[in-house]
A and B are shown apart, each in its own frame.
Chain A
């Protein structure tokens, strides 16, 4: 069965600092990987996705993630964060397009000045 572990429940950083949000997954087959962001009182919005091909995936708002099959990881990075990046970030996995995504428990990113 698939599972997702987000290794940090909370990540506090200062504005303009780099950040990495860690995600590890467990699956016996090839996977599709996603990062979603949830701003307060809003739904989930897709940041980026890995389906196949290049292991470095670029998304919206300057975020990128790297798929590492040997380490079963899909860490999210941003070289310089803004106050507006403060939100909840969710890593998710699915084994087949069109099936439900399995989410991690989320990481709260808090950016302060």
Chain B
């Protein structure tokens, strides 16, 4: 158990809809990262938050947005869903932004299926 909690574990929805994925980082971790895992693209970095502020952006679509709340949990919002958004979405956390180890701790993921 990495200590990172993601909900829901599975989600099935229709095209055009909007969903929210939630992540609780490990206790004490200030950084949260979101990744998308699909068969054709592999693990793609979407976005990073550090202590409530956006820190880095990766290949995140404009239809997607995220935020990190004062209690450090994070939400990834996916809107106007398309079939191609079906994927496994991972959240990861790490301690301070300047962590010496660089290691990320991953949750078990939220599997999104868009029909």
Contact = CB atoms under 8 A, between A and B. Distances in A.
A90 B88 CA distance: 15
Interface of A: 32, 34, 36, 41-46, 49, 51, 90, 94, 96-106
Interface in B73-110: 90, 92, 94, 96-109
Nearest to A32: B102
Contact of A106 (B43, B98, B101, B108): B43
B33 A100 contact: yes
Contact of A49 (B97, B103, B107, B108): B103
Contact of B42 (A46, A94, A105): A105
A85 B43 CA distance: 21
B103 A98 contact: no
Contacts of B68: none
Given A100-B33, A103-B42, A43 B90 contact: yes
